[in-house]
Chains A and B, each alone.
Chain A
Amino acid sequence: MSKEKISSETTSGRTSHIKSDILLVGHPNVGKSVLFSRITGIHTIASNYPGTTIGYTAGQIRFGKQYYDVVDAPGTYSLEPIDEAARITVDLIDEAVRIINVVDATHLERHLPMTIELLAQDKPIVIALNMSDEARHKGIEIDVKKLSQRLGVSVVPTVARTGVGIKDLIQKVFSLEIREPKIEKNETTHPGHHPHIPHHNKSQTAKNHEHLSEKDIWTKVGNIVEEAQTLHHHHHTFGERLEDLSVHPVFGGLTALVVLALSFSFIRTIGEFLISGEIGIFGQSWIKLPFGIEPLFNVAWKPLMMKLSTLLGPGNFLHSLLIGTLVEGRIDFMQSFGLLTSGLFIPLGAVLPYIFSFYLVLSLLEDTGYLPRLAVFMDNIMHKIGLHGYAIIPTLLGLGCNVPGIIATRILETRRQRFITATLISISVPCAALQAMIIGLVGSRGAWPVALIYGILFISWIIIGIILRFTTRGFKPELLIEIPPYRMPSFQALFSKLWMRIYGFLKEALPIVIAAIFVVDILYHLNLFKYVASFTAPVVTRLWGLPEDTIVPLLVGILRKDVAVGMFAPLALTTKQLITGSVILTMFFPCIATFVIMFRELKLKDGLKAIGIMLFSVLIIGTAVNFLLPG
Chain B
Amino acid sequence: MSDKLLTELFLNEEAEVIAITGGRMVRTRLRSLGIIEGQKIRKISKVGLGGPVIVLINRAQLAIGFGMARRVVVRTK
A interface residues (Cβ-Cβ under 8 A, vs B): 77-78, 80, 82, 106-107, 109-110, 114, 138, 214-215, 218, 243-244, 247-249, 252-253, 372, 375-377, 379-380, 383, 388-389, 477-483
Given A107-B58, A110-B58, A389-B52, the answer on whether A479 and B63 have CB atoms closer than 8 Å is yes
In the complex, the answer to whether B45 meets A249 with C-beta atoms within 8 Å is yes
* Chain B residue at smallest Cβ distance from A78: B32
Residues of B near A82 (CB, < 8 A) are 25, 28-29
In the complex, the answer to whether B34 meets A110 with C-beta atoms within 8 Å is yes
CA distance A247 to B48 in the complex (A): 12
CA distance A215 to B66 in the complex (A): 26
Residue from A77, A107, A248, A253 in contact with B60 in the complex, judged by beta carbons closer than 8 Å: A107
Within 8 A of A (CB), among B40-66: 44-52, 54, 58-66
Given A82-B28, A247-B44, A482-B62, the answer on whether A379 and B68 have CB atoms closer than 8 Å is no
* Chain A residue at smallest Cβ distance from B25: A82
In the complex, the answer to whether A249 meets B47 with C-beta atoms within 8 Å is yes
User: Shortest beta-carbon distance, B24 to chain A, in Å?
Assistant: 8
In the complex, the answer to whether A376 meets B28 with C-beta atoms within 8 Å is no
* Chain A residue at smallest Cβ distance from B39: A218
Given A376-B52, A483-B54, the answer on whether A478 and B66 have CB atoms closer than 8 Å is yes
In the complex, the answer to whether B29 meets A247 with C-beta atoms within 8 Å is no
In the complex, the answer to whether B61 meets A377 with C-beta atoms within 8 Å is no
Residues of A near B51 (CB, < 8 A) are 376-377, 379-380
Within 8 A of A (CB), among B9-33: 11, 25, 28-33
CB of B36 closer than 8 Å to a CB of A = yes
CA distance A215 to B36 in the complex (A): 9
In the complex, the answer to whether A253 meets B47 with C-beta atoms within 8 Å is yes
B interface residues (Cβ-Cβ under 8 A, vs A): 11, 25, 28-34, 36-38, 44-52, 54, 58-68
CA distance A249 to B60 in the complex (A): 18
Since A218-B36, A389-B63, A478-B64 are in contact, a sample of 6 more A-B pairs with Cβ atoms closer than 8 Å, ordered by chain A residue number, is A107-B58, A379-B63, A380-B51, A478-B65, A480-B63, A481-B62
In the complex, the answer to whether B25 meets A379 with C-beta atoms within 8 Å is no
Residues of A near B11 (CB, < 8 A) are 249
In the complex, the answer to whether B63 meets A376 with C-beta atoms within 8 Å is yes
In the complex, the answer to whether B44 meets A478 with C-beta atoms within 8 Å is no
* Chain B residue at smallest Cβ distance from A104: B60
Residue from B33, B34, B48, B68 in contact with A478 in the complex, judged by beta carbons closer than 8 Å: B68
Residue from A106, A114, A215, A379 in contact with B47 in the complex, judged by beta carbons closer than 8 Å: A379
The A/B interface has a contact count, at CB < 8 Å, of 99
In the complex, the answer to whether A77 meets B63 with C-beta atoms within 8 Å is no
In the complex, the answer to whether B25 meets A110 with C-beta atoms within 8 Å is no
CA distance A379 to B45 in the complex (A): 14
In the complex, the answer to whether A478 meets B28 with C-beta atoms within 8 Å is no
In the complex, the answer to whether A482 meets B33 with C-beta atoms within 8 Å is yes
Residues of A near B65 (CB, < 8 A) are 379, 388-389, 477-480
User: Shortest beta-carbon distance, B57 to chain A, in Å?
Assistant: 8
Residues of A near B45 (CB, < 8 A) are 247-249, 252
In the complex, the answer to whether B47 meets A483 with C-beta atoms within 8 Å is no
In the complex, the answer to whether B60 meets A110 with C-beta atoms within 8 Å is yes
CA distance A479 to B64 in the complex (A): 6
* Chain B residue at smallest Cβ distance from A253: B47
Residues of A near B34 (CB, < 8 A) are 109-110
Residues of A near B38 (CB, < 8 A) are 218
User: Shortest beta-carbon distance, B6 to chain A, in Å?
Assistant: 12
* Chain B residue at smallest Cβ distance from A76: B32
In the complex, the answer to whether A376 meets B62 with C-beta atoms within 8 Å is no
Given A249-B11, A379-B47, the answer on whether A106 and B59 have CB atoms closer than 8 Å is yes
Residues of B near A253 (CB, < 8 A) are 47
In the complex, the answer to whether A380 meets B25 with C-beta atoms within 8 Å is no
Residues of A near B47 (CB, < 8 A) are 249, 252-253, 376-377, 379-380
In the complex, the answer to whether A482 meets B25 with C-beta atoms within 8 Å is no
Given A78-B32, A377-B51, A379-B51, the answer on whether A107 and B59 have CB atoms closer than 8 Å is yes
* Chain A residue at smallest Cβ distance from B24: A82
* Chain B residue at smallest Cβ distance from A114: B32
CA distance A77 to B30 in the complex (A): 10
In the complex, the answer to whether A480 meets B29 with C-beta atoms within 8 Å is yes
Given A249-B45, A480-B29, the answer on whether A372 and B68 have CB atoms closer than 8 Å is no
CA distance A243 to B54 in the complex (A): 12
Residues of A near B49 (CB, < 8 A) are 380
* Chain A residue at smallest Cβ distance from B29: A480
Residue from B33, B37, B44, B46 in contact with A77 in the complex, judged by beta carbons closer than 8 Å: B33
User: Shortest beta-carbon distance, B59 to chain A, in Å?
Assistant: 7
User: Shortest beta-carbon distance, A214 to chain B, in Å?
Assistant: 7
CA distance A482 to B33 in the complex (A): 8
In the complex, the answer to whether A480 meets B54 with C-beta atoms within 8 Å is no
Residues of B near A379 (CB, < 8 A) are 47, 51-52, 63, 65
Residue from B31, B44, B52, B58 in contact with A109 in the complex, judged by beta carbons closer than 8 Å: B58
In the complex, the answer to whether A480 meets B33 with C-beta atoms within 8 Å is yes
CA distance A252 to B52 in the complex (A): 12
Given A80-B28, A218-B36, A376-B63, the answer on whether A479 and B52 have CB atoms closer than 8 Å is yes
Residues of A near B62 (CB, < 8 A) are 480-483
Given A77-B32, A480-B33, the answer on whether A249 and B68 have CB atoms closer than 8 Å is no
Residue from B31, B64, B68 in contact with A214 in the complex, judged by beta carbons closer than 8 Å: B31
* Chain B residue at smallest Cβ distance from A111: B34
User: Shortest beta-carbon distance, A212 to chain B, in Å?
Assistant: 14
In the complex, the answer to whether B48 meets A249 with C-beta atoms within 8 Å is yes
User: Shortest beta-carbon distance, A371 to chain B, in Å?
Assistant: 12
User: Shortest beta-carbon distance, B64 to chain A, in Å?
Assistant: 6
* Chain B residue at smallest Cβ distance from A413: B29
* Chain A residue at smallest Cβ distance from B28: A82
User: Shortest beta-carbon distance, B49 to chain A, in Å?
Assistant: 6
User: Shortest beta-carbon distance, B46 to chain A, in Å?
Assistant: 6
Q: Which of B11, B38, B45, B48 has the most CB of A within 10 A?
A: B45
CA distance A53 to B42 in the complex (A): 30
